[in-house]
């Protein structure tokens, strides 16, 4: 089945010409050509009003490629979204996406999950709620709700509430920096987490920079500090480089491996195994009738081959 913007392969198809609706079932593979998006699902519903509904172990890829603009190559961001149900509604100027049923998102620099994920184009806003988690490099952010907005091509702002927890893994000293506050505003610059602003009832458990006699980093001492009005944190290369409290600080010093290894602020969460792994784009199931589609997908097939059984219902690609 195909129209001017979408091509789909499936085992079964039902077309209601009077209502301009299409239902497809079984091993669905599709492409939306104008936006370089690809999708697979167990069943699909679509109409001429721009509605597309994917059901049953559904995955949508926004393909990462390079195109020329003004003679210069420009990278298109990759995004992979997996869920039991994905609803897309598209007009000439906007696209709205809602994923439910254990949705999980993957991009080269950010992975996320929540009970529901909503996305909007062209403003580039994502809403994740409830029970939301995000991973960026060695950082995990946990809250009931996150909103991620693109401010420019290189800057994105993430807000989280209520009671947002941030865990930063320090791979050099094998410790976890921990930060929690009633709400959060985080700044990403060029896809890197660079700043954290926490508001009210903020607690921070961090390891000040220390070196042993050989000049090697060590984490033998930690500081727990509390600020009633909040604090601002600066990060560089995923390392905590500066802390500014907005009110009087109460602090305690902790020492000893047994204490440091087991200390956890309330709300601590470190679960990167729950994040969606990279899912390669599936290979087309059979030759299509349209050479223009064959040419496009032959190029993609050389880059992505789906593992056997990756979308078999008995072998889920996600960790439970």
Average pLDDT, the chain: 81
Burial annotation 128-146 (CB, 10 A radius, 16+ → b, else e) = beeebbbbbbbbbbbbbbb
Strand partners, 206: 223
What would the pLDDT profile of 1-30 be if each residue is shown by its tens digit?
555 567 888 888 888 878 878 888 988 888
Q: What is the mean pLDDT of the segment spanning 57-81?
A: 67
More confident residue, 286 or 184: 184
What would the pLDDT profile of 217-261 be if each residue is shown by its tens digit?
677 789 999 999 999 999 988 788 899 999 999 999 988 877 787
Q: Is the per-residue pLDDT at 145 higher than 60?
A: yes
Give CB contacts under 8 A, 24+ apart, made by 126-135: 132/160, 133/269, 133/271, 133/274, 133/275, 134/110, 134/158, 135/110, 135/111, 135/272, 135/275
Q: What is the mean pLDDT of the segment spanning 89-96?
A: 84
The band of 52, judged by pLDDT with boundaries at 50, 70 and 90, is: confident
- Amino acid 252: pLDDT: 92
Q: What is the mean pLDDT of the segment spanning 179-193?
A: 94
Instruction: Say if CB 140 and CB 127 are below 8 A apart.
Output: no
- Amino acid 293: pLDDT: 46
- Amino acid 273: pLDDT: 94
- The percentage of the chain sitting over the pLDDT mark of 70, rounded to a whole number, equals 78
Q: Is the per-residue pLDDT at 315 higher than 50?
A: no
The band of 280, judged by pLDDT with boundaries at 50, 70 and 90, is: confident
Q: Is the per-residue pLDDT at 296 higher than 70?
A: no
Q: What is the mean pLDDT of the segment spanning 180-184?
A: 97
Q: Is the per-residue pLDDT at 300 higher than 60?
A: no
- Amino acid 17: pLDDT: 79
For residues 223 and 252, what is the distance between their CA atoms, to the nearest angstrom?
A: 6
- Amino acid 302: pLDDT: 34
Q: Is the per-residue pLDDT at 167 higher than 60?
A: yes
Q: What is the mean pLDDT of the segment spanning 101-109?
A: 91
The CATH number of domain 127-272, selected from 3.40.1130, 1.20.1740, 1.10.10, 2.60.450: 2.60.450
- Amino acid 298: pLDDT: 46
Q: Which residue has the tokens 């939301």?
A: 132
Q: What is the mean pLDDT of the segment spanning 303-318?
A: 35
Q: How is the chain split into domains, by residue range?
A: 1-102+280-320, 127-272
Rg of the chain (C-alpha set) = 23
The band of 139, judged by pLDDT with boundaries at 50, 70 and 90, is: very high
For residues 318 and 310, what is the distance between their CA atoms, to the nearest angstrom?
A: 10
Q: Is the per-residue pLDDT at 141 higher than 90?
A: yes
Q: What is the mean pLDDT of the segment spanning 277-300?
A: 57
- Amino acid 203: pLDDT: 97
- The percentage of the chain sitting over the pLDDT mark of 90, rounded to a whole number, equals 44
Q: What is the mean pLDDT of the segment spanning 45-63?
A: 85
- Amino acid 55: pLDDT: 94
- Amino acid 20: pLDDT: 78
- Amino acid 19: pLDDT: 80
């Amino acid at each position: 089945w195909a129209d001017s913007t979408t091509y789909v392969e499936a085992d079964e198809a039902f077309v209601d010409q009077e209502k301009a609706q299409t239902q497809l079932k079984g091993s669905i593979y599709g492409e939306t050509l104008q936006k370089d998006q690809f999708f697979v699902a167990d069943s699909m519903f679509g109409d001429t009003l721009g509605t597309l509904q994917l059901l049953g172990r559904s995955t949508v890829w926004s393909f990462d490629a390079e195109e020329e603009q003004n003679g210069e190559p420009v990278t298109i961001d990759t995004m992979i979204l997996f869920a039991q149900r994905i609803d897309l509604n598209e007009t000439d100027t906007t696209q709205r996406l809602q994923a439910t049923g254990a949705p999980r998102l993957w991009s080269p620099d950010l992975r996320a999950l929540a009970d529901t994920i909503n996305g909007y184009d062209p403003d580039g806003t994502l809403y994740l709620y409830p029970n939301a988690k995000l991973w960026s490099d060695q950082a995990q952010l946990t809250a009931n709700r996150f909103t991620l907005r693109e401010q420019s091509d290189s800057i994105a702002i993430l807000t989280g509430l209520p009671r947002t927890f941030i865990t930063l893994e320090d791979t050099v000293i094998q410790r976890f920096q921990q930060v929690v506050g009633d709400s959060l505003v985080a700044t990403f610059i060029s896809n890197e987490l660079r700043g954290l602003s926490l508001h009210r009832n903020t607690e921070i458990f961090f390891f000040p920079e220390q070196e042993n006699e050989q000049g090697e980093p060590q984490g033998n001492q930690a500081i727990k500090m509390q600020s009633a009005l909040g604090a601002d944190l600066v990060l560089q290369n995923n390392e905590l480089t500066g802390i500014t409290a907005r009110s009087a600080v109460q602090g305690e010093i902790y020492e000893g491996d047994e204490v440091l290894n087991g200390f956890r602020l309330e709300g601590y969460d470190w679960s990167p195994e729950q994040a969606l792994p990279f899912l390669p784009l599936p290979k087309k199931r059979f030759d299509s009738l349209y050479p223009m589609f064959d040419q496009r997908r032959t190029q993609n097939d050389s880059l992505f081959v789906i593992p056997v059984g990756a979308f078999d219902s008995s072998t889920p690609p996600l960790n439970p």
